[in-house]
């Protein structure tokens, strides 16, 4: 087999895998139209290429991995916000249960002063704080989306200004004969107005930082309350608490810690309860619901910290893939459909990586045998793509029909 023939054979093999993927992608709308069109153009270019540059398959895999990250980002943000909402609803229901238990107990003035009243105030305050925290976190996501939009606009404006500068330098530079023409050229370049986009971006960044400050202060406050629901012997010492609070600043990135706002003082409800039980036996009737609330309060801060950390990981992807993120968001706001697309992409990527190994330059098997090999790969049992096997086989049939008529 001569070199030119082997090149054609390898192009055919790569094209079969690539076209199978493209038919699958198009049927299930896994990429936006521009990305799909770009991939199809790359496929056309494959047949004109004789050098060892990046293959169509590698480019397609990279596009899918980026799309997977975007879909994960979209789903992760929605999941975190939904999880926090459920947490707030749980606190609300438990506080309501405590109120109901109080109405049944009808505590005396002494019982109310010893524990029942202070704990109700504490619980209502905690509920209010987590409700505000949830609202602020949703606002933070909206502000980060706004910041991402303006950052994208600003980048485009900078690029447009640079292109204008290069055109004017090329067109006018060689034709400039006097100082007046030179000043005109510089004036056109310098007055290209991208200042509005820069102003909008800086304002959006400031709004995001301010909201981040609010959230961190709320986390500090929630942490202080959670400490009061713990056994005093298990509470963090001042130094440990300070270190933990410092770490809370990492959940809102790109901020400088300019000082810690002193935490508010709250009733030591755990101690009040243990003391109240010894003095007022009837408070035992509240024990179960109170202990449930203690447990809920104790771990709330840690869970909120994890939620914020996961949220910002997802936001980082959104900030670096702004256009694709908003395209995905506008295209389909049904999170169930988004998850289905993500699941298909998660299967398609390892299939392509596995199939790509079957297209090395040195392999000399005939095309028909290669086609059967790809079918075998698609049909592998317990493969990461087994949930899309039937759809892949159907896409391969379409690809083979297309390929057989164009070559």
- Is 325 inside a domain boundary? no
Residue-level pLDDT, tens digit, the chain, 407 residues? 343 444 446 677 777 888 888 888 888 777 777 777 766 666 665 544 443 344 566 767 766 766 666 666 667 787 888 889 988 999 999 999 999 999 999 999 999 999 999 999 999 999 999 999 999 999 998 898 888 888 877 776 676 666 656 655 655 445 445 555 555 455 444 444 567 778 888 998 999 999 999 999 999 999 999 999 888 888 776 545 444 443 444 455 544 444 555 556 888 999 999 999 999 999 999 999 999 999 999 888 888 888 888 888 888 877 877 776 776 666 555 555 666 777 888 888 888 888 887 776 446 677 788 888 888 888 888 888 888 888 888 888 878 877 766 54
Query: Looking at the structure, do residues 217 and 355 belong to the same domain, yes or no?
Result: no
Cβ-based burial of 73 (10 A; exposed 0-12, middle 13-18, buried ≥19): buried
Q: Is the distance from CB of 108 to CB of 258 less than 8 angstroms?
A: no
Which residue, 262, 288, 320, sits at the end of a domain? Answer: 320
Residue with tokens 């992760």: 76
Cα–Cα distance, 292 to 97 (Å, whole number): 10
Same domain for 282 and 340: no
Q: Do residues 138 and 219 share a domain?
A: yes
Q: How far apart are CA 23 and CA 32, in angstroms?
A: 14
Per-residue model confidence (pLDDT) at position 110:
94
The reply to whether 142 and 277 lie within a common domain is: yes
Between the alpha carbon of residue 156 and those of residues 35, 191, 204, 259, the distances in Å are 19, 16, 17, 36
- Residue span of the structural domain in which 381 resides: 3-55+335-406
Instruction: Verify that 143 and 286 share a domain, yes or no.
Output: yes
Describe the crossing of helices 335-356 and 3-28 by its angle, rounded to 10 degrees.
Answer: 170
- CA–CA separation, 370 and 399 (whole Å): 14
292 and 387 together in one domain: no
Same domain, 237 and 345: no
Question: Considering the domain boundaries, does residue 289 fall inside one?
Answer: yes
Residues 339 and 316 in one domain: no
- pLDDT value at residue 188: 44
**112 plus 48 within the same structural domain:** no
Q: Number of structural domains, the chain? A: 2
CA distance 384 to 351: 8
70 is a domain residue = no
Alpha carbon distance 107, 299 (integer Å) = 29
Write down the pLDDT at residue 99.
94
Name the phi and psi angles at 121, rounded to 5: -65, -45
Query: Is there a single domain that holds both residue 304 and residue 353?
Result: no
pLDDT at position 396, please? 85
Domain-located, residue 121: yes
Do 246 and 369 belong to one domain?
no
Length of the chain: 407
Structure tokens at 87: 């947490």
DSSP H helices, 264-388, are: 269-279, 287-320, 322-331, 335-356, 367-378
* CA 36 to chain CA centroid, nearest Å: 23
Q: What backbone phi and psi angles, to 5 degrees, belong to 381?
A: -75, 145
The answer to pTM > 0.85 is: no
Whole-angstrom distance, CA of residue 388 vs CA of residue 403: 22
- Position 60 in a domain: no
User: Of the candidates 268, 292, 320, which is a domain's last residue?
Assistant: 320
Q: Tell me whether residue 53 is exposed, middle or buried, using C-beta atoms within 10 angstroms of its C-beta: 0 to 12, 13 to 18, 19 or more.
A: exposed
112 domain-assigned: yes
Tell me whether residue 230 is in a domain: yes
The answer to whether residue 98 is domain-embedded is yes
25 and 91 housed in the same domain: no
């Amino acid at each position: 087999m001569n070199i030119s023939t082997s090149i054609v054979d390898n192009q055919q093999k790569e094209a079969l895998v690539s076209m199978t993927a493209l038919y699958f992608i198009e049927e299930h709308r896994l990429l936006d139209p521009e990305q799909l069109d770009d991939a199809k153009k790359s496929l056309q270019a494959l047949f004109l290429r004789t050098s060892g540059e990046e293959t169509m398959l590698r480019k397609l895999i990279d596009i899918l991995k980026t799309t997977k990250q975007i879909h994960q980002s979209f789903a992760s943000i929605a999941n975190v916000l939904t999880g926090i909402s459920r947490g707030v609803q749980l606190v609300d229901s438990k506080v309501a249960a405590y109120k109901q238990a109080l109405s049944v107990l009808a505590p005396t003035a002494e019982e109310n002063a010893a524990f029942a009243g202070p704990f109700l105030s504490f619980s209502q305050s905690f509920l209010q704080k987590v409700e505000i925290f949830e609202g602020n976190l949703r606002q933070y996501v909206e502000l980060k989306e706004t910041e991402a939009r303006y950052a994208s606009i600003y980048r485009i404006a900078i690029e447009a200004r640079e292109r204008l500068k290069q055109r004017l330098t090329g067109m006018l530079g060689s034709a400039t004969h006097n100082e007046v023409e030179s000043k005109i050229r510089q004036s056109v370049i310098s007055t290209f107005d991208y200042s509005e986009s820069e102003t909008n971006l800086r304002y959006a960044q400031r709004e995001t930082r301010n909201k981040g400050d609010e959230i961190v202060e709320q986390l500090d406050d929630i942490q202080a309350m959670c400490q009061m629901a713990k056994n005093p012997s298990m509470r963090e010492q001042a130094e440990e608490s300070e270190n933990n609070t410092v770490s809370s600043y990492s959940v809102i990135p790109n901020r400088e810690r300019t000082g810690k706002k002193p935490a508010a003082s709250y009733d030591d409800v755990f101690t009040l309860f243990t003391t109240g039980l010894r003095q007022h036996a009837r408070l035992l009737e509240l024990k179960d619901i109170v202990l449930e609330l203690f447990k809920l309060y104790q771990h709330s801060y840690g869970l909120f910290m994890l939620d914020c950390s996961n949220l910002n990981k997802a936001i980082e992807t959104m900030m670096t893939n702004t256009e694709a993120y908003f395209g995905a968001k506008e295209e389909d706001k049904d999170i169930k459909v988004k998850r289905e697309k993500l699941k298909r992409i998660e299967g398609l990527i390892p299939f392509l990586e596995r199939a790509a190994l079957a297209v090395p330059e040195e392999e000399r098997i005939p095309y028909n045998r290669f086609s059967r090999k790809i079918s075998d790969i698609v049909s592998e049992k317990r493969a990461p793509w087994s949930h899309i096997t039937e759809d892949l086989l159907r896409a391969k049939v379409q690809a083979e029909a297309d390929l057989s008529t164009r070559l």
